[in-house]
């Protein structure tokens, strides 16, 4: 068990809100000297917010930060840099077309007396560092673009270390690495720890937590649930701590109608698209079908492929017939409609009115010989606004003036005016207040009861459990299982999402 040396950094009673959502609620947390600490939690538990606060990118609304017991005032990114706090994110922050040496020295080049770059001096400086502290680094004269992802990751870490690092934050560094590459990374982490550097390690993969961390902190809903020594716990306990909450009355009851239909509204056979590979499943009319798992495991690619945004392979059957979907147009013609997670960029025209936004996809129905019939447009929009209780003065109100929840409703209306047979939603309640969530969930159930197949991709696990009839869970692009009925439990879902074996009884 890790004894816990003197505290290196401590955050106390941190609160942080984004609009109506409280990302961190009175969170306290500390890391000791030469400790490897893992941070786990569901999507939206507040991990990335906490990391951003520790690295000075975000300012907390309330709370204090201590470094070696000393209180830090006006903490910001510059102070964090000076203290030697370095964050390495999942994306590779390097200049592709430059050499390893140039990237390592970017922003702190050595210049000769003539004003030219002194490559010889820079090489000498780096070589001693490489030999003594970081032999894993690729040859200094390689162009970064030509390196594999692991070597690039090493360059990023080396750059963080070369400038004097006391706390290294690794934010999902293994997401893009193979197992062997991960072992190399972990040996680097162990050496850092032996050298006195503390490491904060964020990962979605629980087995890695036990490989590398001394202690593990579980966050849930912006609160510190527990900090455990990895020697004293196991992944089952962590999963239970990360999930295990009551599903509140926020969600509508399951459908009362039992569908007798035998033809699926949509069926996938050997469907591969982007990250998701070889998916076979059937979705029936009247169902709300969820896609869950950790973010970026292939479920987003799956629906984007179904809507013809990115190319796919395999067969898509709609009402039992193979339909080739090679463009957004063909997807819409097949009766598929899509509500994007990024409503402000991919769905709404913010500088136009609610009326124009809602009716945008069906202008051909609202015009005669190419001339708009505004009375029809107004009637249709007013009707939709009333059905969805969009709070605005009139249909002429600009969409940019609306709240997140009302924007999402407009986005939903826009998809529904096309009268789709299949409605796909990506993160349907992101940035939406609780009251509107409630309304949207009800509406989705009504839509499904009208015989439309509703597909929901969400990283909000309780939401999926609350509204879906069936939930497909993805890990690394593969469909790990479909939960229905009594199997719809958060612990089962989280276990599948973390690629653990689950015995499922019906």
Residues that bind other proteins (CB under 8 A): 93-99, 101-102, 106-109, 111, 115-117, 119, 122-123, 139-141, 143
| DSSP letters for 218-276 | EEETTEEEEEEEGGG--HHHHHHHHS-----TTSPPPPSPPP---S-SEEEEEEEETTE
Tell me which DSSP letter residue 364 carries: T
Smaller CB distance to other proteins: residue 27 or 94? 94
Residue 198 CA: distances (Å) to CA of 6, 30, 36, 110, 156: 12, 11, 6, 29, 17
Smaller CB distance to other proteins: residue 231 or 310? 310
- Residue 150, helix vs strand vs coil: helix
Smaller CB distance to other proteins: residue 115 or 135? 115
User: Could you tell me where the DSSP H helices lie in 255-353?
Assistant: 299-306, 328-333, 343-346
- Residue 367, helix vs strand vs coil: strand
Smaller CB distance to other proteins: residue 143 or 482? 143
Smaller CB distance to other proteins: residue 171 or 208? 171
Smaller CB distance to other proteins: residue 86 or 426? 86
Smallest distance, other proteins to C-beta of residue 293, A: 20
Smaller CB distance to other proteins: residue 224 or 312? 312
Smallest distance, other proteins to C-beta of residue 131, A: 16
Pairing of strands 367-368, 7-18: unpaired
First-to-final CA distance of the chain: 40
Smaller CB distance to other proteins: residue 141 or 333? 141
Smallest distance, other proteins to C-beta of residue 195, A: 24
Nearest to 283 by CA among 241, 247, 240, 336: 336
Smallest distance, other proteins to C-beta of residue 111, A: 6
- Residue 499, helix vs strand vs coil: coil
Torsion angle defined by CA atoms of residues 274, 276, 277 and 282, in that order, rounded to the nearest 10 degrees? -120
Determine the Cα–Cα distance for residues 58 and 25; give it in Å rounded to an integer: 15
Smallest distance, other proteins to C-beta of residue 40, A: 27
Smallest distance, other proteins to C-beta of residue 115, A: 6
Determine the Cα–Cα distance for residues 199 and 192; give it in Å rounded to an integer: 8
- Residue 46, helix vs strand vs coil: coil
The phi and psi torsions of 322 (rounded to 5 degrees) equal: -70, 125
| DSSP letters for 16-37 | EEETTEEEEEEEEEEEETT-EE
Smaller CB distance to other proteins: residue 106 or 387? 106
Nearest to 33 by CA among 193, 213, 187: 193
């Amino acid at each position: 068990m890790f004894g816990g040396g003197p505290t290196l950094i401590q955050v106390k009673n941190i609160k942080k809100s984004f609009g109506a959502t409280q990302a961190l609620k009175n969170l306290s947390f500390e890391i000791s000297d030469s400790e490897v600490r893992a941070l786990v939690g569901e999507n939206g538990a507040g991990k990335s917010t906490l990391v951003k606060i520790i690295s000075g990118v975000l300012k907390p609304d309330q709370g204090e930060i201590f470094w070696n017991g000393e209180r830090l005032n006006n903490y910001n990114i510059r102070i964090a840099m000076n203290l030697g706090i370095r964050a390495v994110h999942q994306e590779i922050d390097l200049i592709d077309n430059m050499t390893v040496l140039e990237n390592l020295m970017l922003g702190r080049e050595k210049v000769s007396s003539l004003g030219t770059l002194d490559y010889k001096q820079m090489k000498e400086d780096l070589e001693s560092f490489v030999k003594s502290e970081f032999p894993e680094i690729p040859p200094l004269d390689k162009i970064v673009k030509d390196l594999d992802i692991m070597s690039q990751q090493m360059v990023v870490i080396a750059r963080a270390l070369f400038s004097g690092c006391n706390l290294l934050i690794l934010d999902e560094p293994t997401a893009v690495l193979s197992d062997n590459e991960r072992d190399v990374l972990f040996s680097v982490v162990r050496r850092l720890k032996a050298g006195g550097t503390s490491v904060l390690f964020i990962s979605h993969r629980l087995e890695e937590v036990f490989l590398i961390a001394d202690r593990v902190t579980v966050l849930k809903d912006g609160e510190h649930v527990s900090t455990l020594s990895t020697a004293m716990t196991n992944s089952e306990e962590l999963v239970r701590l990360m999930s295990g909450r009551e599903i509140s009355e926020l969600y509508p009851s399951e459908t009362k109608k039992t569908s007798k239909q035998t033809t699926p509204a949509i069926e996938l056979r050997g469907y591969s698209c982007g990250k998701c590979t070889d998916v076979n499943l059937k979705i029936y009319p009247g169902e709300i079908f969820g896609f869950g798992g950790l973010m970026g495991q292939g479920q987003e690619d799956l629906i984007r492929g179904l809507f013809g945004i990115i190319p796919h392979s395999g067969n898509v059957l709609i009402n039992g017939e193979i339909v080739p979907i090679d463009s957004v147009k063909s997807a819409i013609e097949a009766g598929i409609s899509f509500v994007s997670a990024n409503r402000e960029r991919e769905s709404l025209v913010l500088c136009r009115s609610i009326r124009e936004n809602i009716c945008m996809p069906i202008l051909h129905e609202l015009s005669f010989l190419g001339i708009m019939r505004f009375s029809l447009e107004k009637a249709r929009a007013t009707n939709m606004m009333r059905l969805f209780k969009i709070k605005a003065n009139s249909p002429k109100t600009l969409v940019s003036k609306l709240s997140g929840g009302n924007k999402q409703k407009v986005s939903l209306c826009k998809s529904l005016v096309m009268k789709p047979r299949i409605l796909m939603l990506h993160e349907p309640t992101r940035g939406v207040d609780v009251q509107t969530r409630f309304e949207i969930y009800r509406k989705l159930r009504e839509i499904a009861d009208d015989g439309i197949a509703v597909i929901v991709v969400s990283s909000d696990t309780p939401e999926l459990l609350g509204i879906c009839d069936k939930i497909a869970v993805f890990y690394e692009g593969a469909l790990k299982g479909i939960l229905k009925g009594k199997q719809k439990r958060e612990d089962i879902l989280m276990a599948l999402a973390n690629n653990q074996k689950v015995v499922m009884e019906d």
